Amino acid sequence: MPRDSTRDRLLAAAIGVFAEKGYRDATVAEVCEAASANIAAVNYHFGSKEKLFRQVLREAFFRADEVYPIDGGLQPDSAPDARLHAFMAALIRRNSDDGPAGDFNRIMLHHGTRESAPDALIHSEMAALQGNTLDSILAEILGTRAKEPLITAKLNIIGLCVFPSIAHRLRNHLFPENPKPAHLKRFIDRQHAFALAGLAALTPATK
């Protein structure tokens, strides 16, 4: 059955609005206008802006993960360096996708650069949707589950994946035009190699 109900239209419109403006600047009125619906429909189907945002996170994540799965299709017992490559490739490719598969990362980038969204909601949804994928990979590579080195490693890995999307001039320098698959793969491979070198340097401190 085609997804043409009022709820589906509201959700699709909300993903676009939140991806463009973030939680703070997006308004329910804008979502309703884009969905050709009224505010009463949002209250009926979702209850509030925050509850709508929760559904937006879930739907946008599933869209992204369908195209760029965070595990790259690898088994959980695959080598951790291969799983790290898959994780980084998914994030970088999502950041480079201007279509629906990139909406989740665009929403999260607003959260990462503004004090605007409901943190507790986002953290709980991320835990439910993505689990501790990156933490598990890094713990295996570093040989420790100590909090401090894991946080340091995690922040640096995520930075390698998302920084070009935040620094638009840098992204334009790296990719003057939309990156071709071969160029994007080379960039992913280099970021992954850099990450492994950094983790190798960090490992002795964790022993």
The model's pLDDT over 16-75, given as tens digits with 9 standing for 90+, comes to: 999 999 998 999 999 999 999 999 999 999 999 999 999 999 999 999 999 999 999 999
Q: Which of 10-19, 39-48, 116-125, 163-172 has the lowest mean pLDDT?
A: 163-172
What confidence score (pLDDT) does residue 167 get? Answer: 60
Specify the length of the chain in residues.
207
What confidence score (pLDDT) does residue 1 get? Answer: 36
**CB distance 111 to 122 below 8 Å:** yes
User: If pLDDT is split at 50, 70 and 90, which confidence band does 142 have?
Assistant: very high
What confidence score (pLDDT) does residue 2 get? Answer: 44
**What phi, psi does 90 have (nearest 5°)?**
-65, -45
Nearest to 165 by CA among 119, 96, 98: 96
The stretch 156-178 carries a mean pLDDT of 73
Residue of 7 and 179 predicted with greater confidence = 7
User: If pLDDT is split at 50, 70 and 90, which confidence band does 190 have?
Assistant: very high
The stretch 156-184 carries a mean pLDDT of 76
Residue of 22 and 128 predicted with greater confidence = 22
Q: Is the pLDDT of residue 9 over 60?
A: yes
Q: What is the DSSP string of the chain?
A: ----SHHHHHHHHHHHHHHHHHHHH--HHHHHHHHT--HHHHHHHTSSHHHHHHHHHHHHHHHHHHHS-TTTT--TTS-HHHHHHHHHHHHHHHHT--SGGGHHHHHHHHHHH-S-S-HHHHHHHHHHHHTTHHHHHHHHHHT---HHHHHHHHHHHHHHHHHHHHSHHHHHHH-SSSPPHHHHHHHHHHHHHHHHHHHHHHHHHH-
- What's the CA gap between 24 and 129, in Å, rounded? 22
How distant is the alpha carbon of residue 41 from its chain centre?
A: 28
- Residues 89-113 pLDDT 10s: 999 999 889 899 999 999 988 876 5
Q: Is the pLDDT of residue 151 over 50?
A: yes
What confidence score (pLDDT) does residue 175 get? Answer: 65
Nearest to 14 by CA among 113, 91, 100: 100
What confidence score (pLDDT) does residue 140 get? Answer: 95
